Chains A and B, each alone.
Chain A
């Protein structure tokens, strides 16, 4: 087996079979599942599918059009009562969860009273107002009435240049998929480069570097480390992706509308990957340089945290990027190292990022990645045997290679 693979395999095994790694691997899907579970539980607790009564003093619901219901929502039955006494008796008998009283002068006052013993479900309240709304528009053609009553489900939001369109209810899962891929890549990038920095710093701390360098070449060493660490993080991502896919399948089968449209725009995914790959190389090379330059892995972690903050800048400026996706700031952030990946993905949801910007960003990232590789190579040769002493930038740029 090539020595590069031996290094990769050792790195992989010594991390993946640690209890801490297995715990970290399981903790993320568990946390997400727990959060989703708690959310669904809270929502189900807030919903109540028992019938709802109403007394229509305004004559608005004399010949009622049923409340429009979309997707997987379960319709709530609305029961008319002639008198309040009848409705109250039904409420006390728990035949209905609540009842509404539409005032006689509703047309002038818009007054509707709600009577309940226990607060009614949110779904019932929401559907009753849709019920009122569609009946208020009963003189309109049914499709117009329905569209007006369910405005968020029928409006399509389209960007001015026509390059992007979103449903009124917000982006579907399929639309934000490239952003999710980008975030996953960013997680891989941040984790891998941090692991790499840690692994190189550990070799220095353990004083194993000198023994290793008389057994293998620096290329085999760094190449093996990178491969091993990418494999470690890939294991994590695959595990998390498997859980995500399982979640999507469950959600689609459950009829949740958000997961129904999974049509992916492969050109956006392609652009994301084109920026992501040199960004990954750039981060890995810089973290290697840091790992070699610092005196301890702890010091390296502190510096590594700064890089993480740089990658997260687009998140802090997300509102500006969404509001004006093709303005100067988003354009600059799309070109700069560290910020480009997330910025381009975020912008792509709301507007088409011009091809020249994607190409320029790939060029900038590639150039920076090549420079970082050169720098990491120098740092490695100069700093690999320097124990307890930090490598200075000045030395790095001036000194002879070894």
Chain B
């Protein structure tokens, strides 16, 4: 299978500082891929090496089937961590200029821009200077700039910063649409719940190295403990967690959001617990294998080592 991005053992240092030590991953066509890591882990440097803004000291990068070329730049949409638009230019002129550099004709760019400005509720502000727009509006303008030329590959750093819930949903819908249209998306963010919602696969890097890589569901299962989440009727609050009937083979009971988390003894299977609860006539609203959130996995991996 041809990968949209293939990064193999890249490393990059700036003077004495090693920004990336050894990072490898593939991004497949049509997937939404999460590039995660704590601040200073090397995410931005990795992205810049992918885009040929930095040359790796070691390792190789293949993007859209080979090394980066000028022609490929028109097939990539990139929204960097450091947002940038011409502050003293009217919004529409700024976006049309940047679109023209991506190979769009003026007429085509105008047509597409009009539709996107409407969709992002920016049409009324198109004649305003960029510096006159709110942070959220500028963020939306950046997203428009990233996708206006309908790229095959979208690389987007913190797409939800400064967006309210309505606009966050708008961007999420847009990302789903882009994927349906066949675009590949690489997203770097610290908002783990967005990653859980959007990404198919992730790479977590720390101190410039891969620490976690693969399918998101598999990773969560890998990190799940021997525990189940249970909610019975009437709904148990956290304080009411103790009202759950005692079940043999359960070592620990702790409140967990709107349910309780039962940590099982090694020789106890979740089916045993379910059977016991049913036998006691408990009405279950929820019974599921407890898998950790990505936030929890992130903290566990970064603070405690994988």
Contact = CB atoms under 8 A, between A and B. Distances in A.
Nearest to A7: B101
Contacts of A324: none
A235 interface: no
Given A3-B101, A217-B70, A401-B55, A211 B145 contact: yes
Given A208-B84, A214-B76, A215-B73, A6 B101 contact: yes
A214 B84 contact: no
A211 B55 contact: no
Contacts of B209: none
A214 B15 contact: no
B53 A215 contact: no
Contact of B100 (A6, A207, A400): A6
Contacts of A387: 82
Interface string A1-21: 101001100100010000000
A215 B84 contact: no
Interface residues of B, number: 27
Query: Which of A1, A6, A208 has the most chain B CB atoms closer than 10 A to its own CB?
Result: A208
Main secondary structure, interface of B, reads: loop
Interface string B94-112: 0001101110000000000
A216 B97 CA distance: 12
A320 interface: no
B53 A214 contact: yes
B80 interface: yes
Interface string B68-105: 00100110101010111111110000000110111000
Contact of B53 (A10, A210, A400): A210
A395 B15 contact: yes
A385 B48 contact: yes
A217 B68 CA distance: 11
Contacts, number: 62
Nearest to B12: A402
A319 to B, nearest CB: 45
Contacts of A399: 15
B195 interface: no
Contacts of A402: 53-55
Contact of B84 (A3, A211, A217, A400): A211
A243 to B, nearest CB: 29
Contacts of B100: 1, 6
Given A214-B76, A401-B55, A402-B53, A206 B98 contact: no
B51 interface: yes
A401 B12 CA distance: 12
A250 interface: no
B98 A215 contact: yes
B282 to A, nearest CB: 57
A211 B143 CA distance: 12
Contacts of A395: 15
A353 interface: no
A387 B44 CA distance: 14
B49 to A, nearest CB: 9
A208 B97 CA distance: 12
B101 A206 contact: no
Given A217-B70, A387-B82, A211 B98 contact: yes
B101 A215 contact: yes
Contacts of B145: 211
Contacts of A214: 51, 53, 73, 76, 78
B97 A209 contact: no
A216 B101 CA distance: 7
Contact of B87 (A1, A6, A206, A213): A206
Interface string B169-193: 0000000000000000000000000
Nearest to A215: B101
Given A14-B89, A402-B53, A211 B78 contact: yes
A212 interface: yes
A206 B145 CA distance: 15
A214 B51 CA distance: 7
B102 A215 contact: yes
A213 B70 CA distance: 10
Contact of B85 (A7, A14, A206, A217): A206
Query: Which of B76, B80, B89 has the most chain A CB atoms closer than 10 A to its own CB?
Result: B80
19 contacts: A3-B101, A7-B101, A14-B88, A14-B89, A206-B86, A210-B53, A210-B84, A211-B80, A211-B98, A212-B101, A213-B51, A214-B73, A214-B78, A215-B73, A216-B73, A216-B101, A385-B82, A387-B82, A399-B15
Q: Closest 8 interchain pairs by CB? A: A207-B84, A208-B84, A215-B101, A210-B80, A207-B82, A214-B78, A402-B55, A10-B97
Interface of A: 1, 3, 6-7, 10, 14, 206-217, 385, 387, 395, 399-402
Given A210-B82, A213-B51, 8 more contacts: A206-B85, A207-B82, A210-B53, A210-B84, A211-B84, A211-B145, A212-B101, A215-B101
